[in-house]
Amino acid sequence: DADVTQTPRNRITKTGKRIMLECSQTKGHDRMYWYRQDPGLGLRLIYYSFDVKDINKGEISDGYSVSRQAQAKFSLSLESAIPNQTALYFCATSASWVNTEAFFGQGTRLTVV
């Protein structure tokens, strides 16, 4: 089983719909992240959480919200999806000390039509 699991793996949704992407991890890490990947733009940080009570905005948080339900679960919501949110979304985790390896999930390919 994967250490970082994202659901769904693929999703097509309509403009204006609310959608939630979920992430769960079995690595026991406190820190979790949501990234967005677009061709030619690399990976950009949307939100991150250093523990259950901590939520921080990243580089591109507008139009997104997150919820840290437990140490192992971190979900990303698009309140009202728009076509330019079509992208590949990755959840990642890392240990609590600085400058450690980030472990990524398999990704969720989201298409907004």
11 binds another protein (CB under 8 A): no
Beta-bridge mates of residue 45? 35
Kind of pairing between the strands at 42-49 and 31-38: antiparallel
Residue 44 interacting with another protein (CB under 8 A)? yes
> Cis ω on the peptide bond leading into residue 8 (within 30° of 0)?
yes
DSSP element (H, E) containing 56: strand 56-57
Residue entry with tokens 């030619």: 40
Which positions from 89 through 108 interact with another protein, judged by CB under 8 A? 90, 92, 94, 97-107
Specify the stretch interacting with another protein by CB under 8 A; choose among 14-22, 38-46, 64-72, 75-83.
Answer: 38-46
Q: Is 68 in the site for another protein (CB under 8 A)?
A: no
**Pick 15 or 59: Cβ nearer another protein:** 59
Dig out the tokens for 72 from the structure.
């192992």
Point out which residues bind another protein (CB under 8 A).
4, 31, 33, 35, 40-45, 48, 50, 58, 90, 92, 94, 97-107
